[in-house]
Amino acid sequence: MMAAFCSWSSVLVVVVLFFTASIKPGAADESDTKDKKAKGPSPDRIREPLRMFTDEDLAKYDGSVPRLPIYLAVKGVVFDVSSAPEFYGKDAPYNALTGKDSTRAVAKMSLAPEDLTADVTGLTDSQLEDLENVFQNTYKKKYPVVGHMAFTVVSNGRSHTEL
């Protein structure tokens, strides 16, 4: 009886060791991966160097080409919103904001073609406060920064959004 027990316990140890060795360190189950995606970009992720975008450059990233990421700019900062194709992808509700600096549209909570611009001339104090709130609490928290618009002002190595 003791010999049979030793033999079964040896088999059990081998099986446990096999399965333990086959699990990769740091591997996450599917729900853990979804939770991390929902929380936005990881601060310890290795980031690509930031790019400078012209209007023409940014227009290529409007969600119309499936193999390209989806970008939009607010306050001259270009964000990768590819993780939310249900909002920004082709035919999605906020796709009009992509491929351009849509600062005015974000400030006014508007998708009107005339508001799809970086121009903030004539916005009210309330609209500018709303813009800052959405910029800080939506875009900067949820989406990685991939660059800046070529028209942004840089002073002492800091963009206008940091001044």
pLDDT tens digits along 133-153: 999 999 999 999 999 999 865
For domain 48-159, which CATH number applies: 3.20.20.60, 3.10.120.10, 3.30.70.250, 3.40.50.300?
3.10.120.10
**CA of 98: how far to CAs of 34, 54, 75, 101, in Å?**
24, 14, 13, 8
pLDDT tens readout for residues 6-65: 443 433 333 333 333 333 344 344 444 444 444 455 555 556 688 999 999 999 999 999
pLDDT at 162: 47
Q: Which residue has the higher pLDDT, 43 or 86?
A: 86
Q: Which residue has the higher pLDDT, 49 or 72?
A: 72
| 93 has pLDDT over 70 | yes
Determine what percent of the chain falls in helix, strand and coil, rounding each to the nearest 5.
40, 15, 45
Average pLDDT of the segment spanning 81-107: 97
Q: What percent of the chain has pLDDT over 70?
A: 63
Average pLDDT of the segment spanning 102-110: 97
Average pLDDT of the segment spanning 80-109: 97
Contacts of 28 (CB under 8 A, 6+ apart): 36
pLDDT at 16: 31
